[in-house]
């Protein structure tokens, strides 16, 4: 007779008992019925509660010990994810309910990381669509839902944060249904079940005002409505690499759903990528239990598994049976819309603060990232020290820069620029669907800003609280640097969301920057006296005692055009100079730019120097005389 541990539900215990036997080599391998598996993705707009809901599901499935300390948003394992409160990388876990294993994939909500969502949809069979009980479907909800519907997945709509005082569930359900219809959902897909939740407390129910004190209604709906994987348990081995992991001891870890057959430890397989094939051997096979990977002797079709020992495998590659190879179609993702150049640091401070400073290390790191992220493109340029990197948006590229900075890399990047396309012999550019919610007092400033950036209004609605909701189509290049101006114009009260809206004919020149830079004209250490004189000409980015070099941008000029300033200037000594007179000078606090702000600020002739310790804006051409000659010659330096 088995005694059920207090920390396990009956379903979780069955799976736990199976895994323990499997790990000891006593379980009969491959005997997990695919009908007892559910592979689901949780999709939503940013900050609608995906990761919080996964936390609650894990806790109620008794994945953690009773006395185990568990961090909030446990699936956000990346430091940047925790700091920014967003999901950047797709991650998978599993729970067990009533003997059914539920593999859960937590996906990013921001459209810049849409490549993560697009490839995850290949290994799931259904989705939980989270919508906020007040905001309802947002622009990026449309993006992630489209990916699911195009692949024929069924959806359960989860109206989260139902405890908010101004919740409006009827409105949210109606607008969500309209969204399904607009995206071309089938009748079966549009007939979605609805569950209401408070993910923070782990409560759910089928009625908004009658929540139970658990997620039992949600679990039951998953088993009832979302299908088991459609696989061929008796066919040849077939798996597509969908996610990648890395372990210091095991090396690269390939994650994907086993679509056909079984796969065993030490099994010989065939790796197919494009037109090339090569034989490999699987070292280890893992399945997921909670947040852990459990090594097993064999895995069967339908489960999401992890493999080691396969070496250089790329996203979208197929692992199959050498005797009966069946390649899968490659994963297709939308093309990148922005690009920047990465190069080795060429400033006078080069090599002071970084661990990895050579072009070889920089190139190696960028190409490794392109293997992990299918939405990223990396290519060499004519210069051996410079590389072209294309991504989905400023946030996508900014996260890469920040991750590399924290890993010890030192480099410089250029201003982001859009990628133009030639369609029917005409030049086209990417455009964004921009949705803005702003109070009436700021609407004039916002409309003017968008008009300057070639924005075209599509819709305008008056909200219940008196604010105004605008929908615009704006060229992507018009939005570079727009967020800061928007927040300034709305005193930080406006809401801004964007979504890629396709390509349209080139809209002409756009003037997005109406100011120049304050540029240091000599190297040294900034003094209060020098900064006091410079701050009258604009807004400073640095404070006293900051080391600067010639050509470094130290502030924003109040007018168009750059201005060279001497921030290292010291007051001349005289017999009438009182001790401590420099200390009496009043300096305004410098404007502290984030990495995202600095990327938005850059002009065409500026670079961003990035090191593990700091980042600095600088001119491409540092000496003042050479910059002037360059400008006089119309951009040619002879």
Question: In sequence order, what are the residues at sequence separation of 6 or more whose Cβ sits closer than 8 angstroms to the Cβ of residue 531?
Answer: 540, 542, 543, 544, 567, 587
The answer to whether 526 and 571 are in contact (CB under 8 A) is: no
**Residue linked to tokens 């190879």:** 325
| DSSP conformation class of 228 | P
> How many whole angstroms separate alpha carbon 193 and alpha carbon 156?
5
Distance (Å, whole) CA 420 – CA 377: 15
| DSSP label of 380 | E
Closest residue by Cα to residue 603 from 420, 414, 389, 452: 414
Chain center to CA of 629: 41
Q: Distance of CA 66 to CAs 3, 19, 69, 162, 204, Å?
A: 17, 20, 9, 28, 22
Give the residue carrying structure tokens 């994650």: 255
Pairing state between β 91-97 and 468-475: unpaired
Sign of CA dihedral 275, 279, 284, 287: positive
Which residues does 100 contact at the CB level (< 8 Å), separation at least 6? 11, 36, 37, 38, 223
Q: For residues 428 and 418, is the Cβ–Cβ distance under 8 A? A: no
| Residue 212: count of CB within 10 angstroms of its CB | 13
How far are the Cα atoms of 154, 452, 537 from residue 560, in angstroms, in the given order? 54, 16, 11
* Per-residue tokens: 358: 């050579």
CB-side neighbour CA atoms (13 Å) of 598: 25
Q: What Cα–Cα distance (Å) separates residue 309 from each residue in 246, 265, 304, 315, 414?
A: 11, 10, 17, 16, 38
C-alpha to C-alpha distance for 159 and 136, rounded to whole angstroms = 8
Annotated binding site for GTP: 47-52, 160-163
Q: Which residues are annotated as a binding site?
A: 47-52, 160-163
Q: What angle do CA 482, 484, 489 make, to 5 degrees?
A: 90
- Residue reference for tokens 């405890």: 163
């Amino acid at each position: 007779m088995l005694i059920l541990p207090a920390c396990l539900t009956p379903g979780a215990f069955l799976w736990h008992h199976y895994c323990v036997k499997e790990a000891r080599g006593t379980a009969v391998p491959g005997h997990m019925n695919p009908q007892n598996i559910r592979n689901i993705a949780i999709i939503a707009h940013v900050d609608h509660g995906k990761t919080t809901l996964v936390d609650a599901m894990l806790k109620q499935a008794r994945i953690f010990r009773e006395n185990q300390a568990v961090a909030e948003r446990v699936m956000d394992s990346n430091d940047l994810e925790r700091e920014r409160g967003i999901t950047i990388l797709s991650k998978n876990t599993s729970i067990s309910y009533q003997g059914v294993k539920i593999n859960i994939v937590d996906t990013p909500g921001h459209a810049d990381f849409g490549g993560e969502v697009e490839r995850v949809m290949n290994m799931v069979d259904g989705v939980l669509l989270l919508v906020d009980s007040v905001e309802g479907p947002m622009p990026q909800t449309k993006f992630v839902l489209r990916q699911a519907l195009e692949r024929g997945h069924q959806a359960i709509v989860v109206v989260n944060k139902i405890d908010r005082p101004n919740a409006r569930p009827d409105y949210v359900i109606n607008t969500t249904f309209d969204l399904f219809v607009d995206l071309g959902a089938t009748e079966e897909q549009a007939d979605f079940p609805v569950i209401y939740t408070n993910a923070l407390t782990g409560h759910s129910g089928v009625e908004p005002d009658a929540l139970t004190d658990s997620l039992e209604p949600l679990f039951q709906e998953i088993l009832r409505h979302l299908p088991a994987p459609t696989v061929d348990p008796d066919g040849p081995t077939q798996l597509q690499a969908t996610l990648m992991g890395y372990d210091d001891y095991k090396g690269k870890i390939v994650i994907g759903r086993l679509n056909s057959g079984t796969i065993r430890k030490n099994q010989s397989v065939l790796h197919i990528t494009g037109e090339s094939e090569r034989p490999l051997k699987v070292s280890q096979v893992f399945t997921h239990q909670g947040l852990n990977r459990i090594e097993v002797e064999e895995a069967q079709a339908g489960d999401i598994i992890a493999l080691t020992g396969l070496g250089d495998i790329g996203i979208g590659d197929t692992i199959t049976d050498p005797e009966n190879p069946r390649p899968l179609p490659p994963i297709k993702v939308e093309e990148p819309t922005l690009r920047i150049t990465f190069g080795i640091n060429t400033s006078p401070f080069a090599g002071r603060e970084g661990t990895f400073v050579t072009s070889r290390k920089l190139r190696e790191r960028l190409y490794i990232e392109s293997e992990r992220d299918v939405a990223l493109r990396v290519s060499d340029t004519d210069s051996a020290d410079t590389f072209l990197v294309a991504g989905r948006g400023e946030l996508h590229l900014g996260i890469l820069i920040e991750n590399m900075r924290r890993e010890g890399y030192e480099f410089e990047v250029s201003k982001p620029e859009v990628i133009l396309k030639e369609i029917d012999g005409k030049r086209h550019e990417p455009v964004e669907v921009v949705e803005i919610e702003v109070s009436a007092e700021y609407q004039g400033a916002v409309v003017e800003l968008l008009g300057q950036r070639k924005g075209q209004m599509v819709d305008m609605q008056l909200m219940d609280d008196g604010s105004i909701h605008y929908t615009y189509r704006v060229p992507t290049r018009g939005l570079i640097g727009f967020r800061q101006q928007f927040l300034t114009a709305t005193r930080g009260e406006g809401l801004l969301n964007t979504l890629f809206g396709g390509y349209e004919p080139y809209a002409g020149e756009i003037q997005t920057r109406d100011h120049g830079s304050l540029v240091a004209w000599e190297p040294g250490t900034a003094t209060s006296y020098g900064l006091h004189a410079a701050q009258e000409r604009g807004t400073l980015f640095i404070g006293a005692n900051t080391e600067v070099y010639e050509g470094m941008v130290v502030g924003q000029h109040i007018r168009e055009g750059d201005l060279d300033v001497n921030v290292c200037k010291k007051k001349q000594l005289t017999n009438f100079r009182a001790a401590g007179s420099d200390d009496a000078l009043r300096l305004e606090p410098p404007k502290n730019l984030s990495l995202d702000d600095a990327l938005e600020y850059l002009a065409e002739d500026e670079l961003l120097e990035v090191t593990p310790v700091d980042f600095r804006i600088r001119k491409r051409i540092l000496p003042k005389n050479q910059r002037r000659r360059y400008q006089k010659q119309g951009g040619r330096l002879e």
